[in-house]
Structure 1
């Protein structure tokens, strides 16, 4: 189970970066177009939930 957990953490970290960048950019600029990365990140968080990424016996 440990290799799958490590893979799940890496996937979530790769999703979290653009999502955080999008929200910070929105807060700094106030431009609604920058929320696209945040919304995509939230969608991907839901799509790649830890329960789906970690194989349990």
Structure 2
């Protein structure tokens, strides 16, 4: 299960960074902000999974 969550976190980070870059190129501030938010959510999810792994072992 943890592997699945880690993959989701990484996918969310990548998707967010792509949205942010697209928004920056297109000049769309809303899309850029949405991408930053999504990437941050992926970062938080990844940090949570790493913390769970630390306490698991």
Q: TM-score range, shorter-chain basis?
A: 0.5 to 0.7
- Contact kept in structure 1, 2:13 and 2:42, CA below 8 Å: no
When the two structures are aligned, how many residues end up with a matched partner? Answer: 52
CA shift digits 1:18-43 (9 cap, x unpaired): 21221111221121110213213213
Runs of 4+ more than 6 Å apart: none
Unaligned runs of 5+ in 2: none
Higher helix share: 2
1-side partners of 2:29 and 2:11: how far apart? 22
TM-score (ref. length: structure 2)? 0.59
Unaligned runs of 5+ in 1: none
Please point out which of 21, 26, 29 is paired with 1:29. Answer: 26
TM-score (ref. length: structure 1)? 0.59
Residue in structure 1 matched with residue 39 of structure 2 by the alignment: 41
Query: Aligned Cα RMSD in Å?
Result: 2.3
